Amino acid sequence: MKIAVIGGDGTGPEVTAEALKVLQAVSQLENFSYDTKEFDFGGERYLRTQETLPEGAVDELRNFDAIFLGAVGHPDVAPGILEKGLLLELRFQLDQYINLRPVKLYPGVETPLAGKGPEDIDFVVVRENTEDLYCGTGGFLKKNTPDEVAMQSAVYTRKGCERCIRWAFEFTRQRNNPQGKMLTLVAKTNVLTYGHDLWWRTFQEVAEEYSDVKADYNHVDACCMWMVKTPEYYDVIVTTNMFGDIITDLGAMVQGGLGVAAGGNINPDPGGTSMFEPMGGSAPKYTGQKVINPIAAIGAMAMLLEQSGQPAAGQRVLQAIQTVTAAKMKSQNAGKMGYDTTQVGDLVVEALG
């Protein structure tokens, strides 16, 4: 397995180091080998060179089986530059059309939802990752005048939604929830009567191929209510890029915060290169203090293993994380864990067995 490592900005390199530590340990226990290569992409490099991704970088990254990304975001770089030039650029260029974001409350982790526990909060969001408002289509008319017009268009294609919906049905089937397999389409068909009508029709058609999976639908605003009130309702959600961005931040809080939430940008096609990342940002104010929680990054490594042909190793890491959250950590918040960043990494390594 060839893994490209982009530690990135702020606390990104600190949490990446812990994820790599766990990778090293689990590779010995599960008997597989791997190579890593580090790339210095991020804010510092941008400030030095004025480029986010150097010429040829994407093609080099294509040759890796997977990419591990710590964080992007630098206080001295204007918002949008690194996000667009690095994160979104890689998602788009590598056609990582699935953004897989589990919402799972680990044992011992506090959720702000009163009376809910790990048995209630365990679902997965499949976010489309290459279309919608993220495609950057739009422009200004009469900019900086009182008559200014700004337009930003959402783009949805039949191919784009169908491949995501089909993957989500397949994923739901394989997840095989003992309480019943259910895929909920989250959209806004009552207002977005063109774009989300395409999603709705495609969802209905693909659903016919999966009679074992219940095909369900929620409007996105209602979904926000149910995620808080009855999270146990959900098994798998499939949704558009922008709604997926928003509801997965809600999901991250429900599962105990950004110290815990991990995601995968997946290109499931043969030879595709996927990228795994903790959902929290670069947290500049915590940089270098050894207080940031590496659990999300270690969780992202578990997902990388699961999706890159080492499912047993991925499961083993996920188990070890849960042993540590249940028995050791005081909190999942930065600076309140009861341990520093590297100690949490060590605890996970110990718990691998």
Q: How far is CA 130 from the centre of its chain?
A: 14
Start-to-end CA distance of the chain, whole Å, equals: 23
CB atoms within 10 A of CB 177: 16
295 in Cβ contact with 109 (< 8 Å): no
CB atoms within 10 A of CB 110: 12
Active site residue 2: no
CB-based contacts of 205, cutoff 8 Å, min separation 6: none
* Min CB(101)–ligand IPM separation in Å: 8
In this chain, which residue has its C-beta nearest to ligand IPM? 83
- Out of ligand IPM, Mn ion, none, what residue 216 binds, judged by CB under 5 to 8 A for its kind, is none
**Taking contact as CB under 5 A, which single stretch among the options 166-174, 242-250, 251-259, 269-277 is the one that binds Mn ion?**
242-250
Decide: helix, strand or coil at residue 69. strand
Active site residue 159: no
Distance CA 161, CA 98 (A): 10
Active site residue 245: yes
Decide: helix, strand or coil at residue 301. helix
CB-based contacts of 305, cutoff 8 Å, min separation 6: 23, 26, 311, 313, 314, 317
From 37, 221, 285, 336, active-site residue: 221
Nearer to ligand IPM, 244 or 345 (CB): 244
* Min CB(99)–Mn ion separation in Å: 9
Nearer to ligand IPM, 203 or 243 (CB): 243
Binding positions for ligand IPM, rule: CB under 6 A: 83, 87-88, 245
Which of 120, 232, 245, 340 binds Mn ion (CB under 5 A)? It is 245
Active site residue 59: no
Nearer to ligand IPM, 120 or 245 (CB): 245
CB-based contacts of 67, cutoff 8 Å, min separation 6: 3, 4, 5, 6, 61, 90, 273, 274, 275, 276
- Out of Mn ion, ligand IPM, none, what residue 88 binds, judged by CB under 5 to 8 A for its kind, is ligand IPM
**Taking contact as CB under 5 A, which single stretch among the options 44-52, 93-101, 162-170, 240-248 is the one that binds Mn ion?**
240-248
From 9, 188, 234, 235, active-site residue: 188
Tokens of residue 158, six digits: 């039949």
* Min CB(285)–ligand IPM separation in Å: 18
Nearer to ligand IPM, 132 or 306 (CB): 132
* Min CB(83)–ligand IPM separation in Å: 4
Nearer to ligand IPM, 213 or 296 (CB): 296
From 249, 269, 330, 336, active-site residue: 249
- Out of ligand IPM, Mn ion, none, what residue 89 binds, judged by CB under 5 to 8 A for its kind, is none
* Min CB(249)–Mn ion separation in Å: 6
Active site residue 97: no
CB-based contacts of 209, cutoff 8 Å, min separation 6: 166, 169
* Rounded (10°) angle between helices 311-327 and 295-307: 160
| Exposure b/e, 315-328, CB count within 10 A at least 16 = b | ebbbebbbbbbeeb
Nearer to Mn ion, 3 or 220 (CB): 220
Give me the active site residues, please: 134, 188, 221, 245, 249
* Residues found near Mn ion in the complex (CB under 5 A): 245
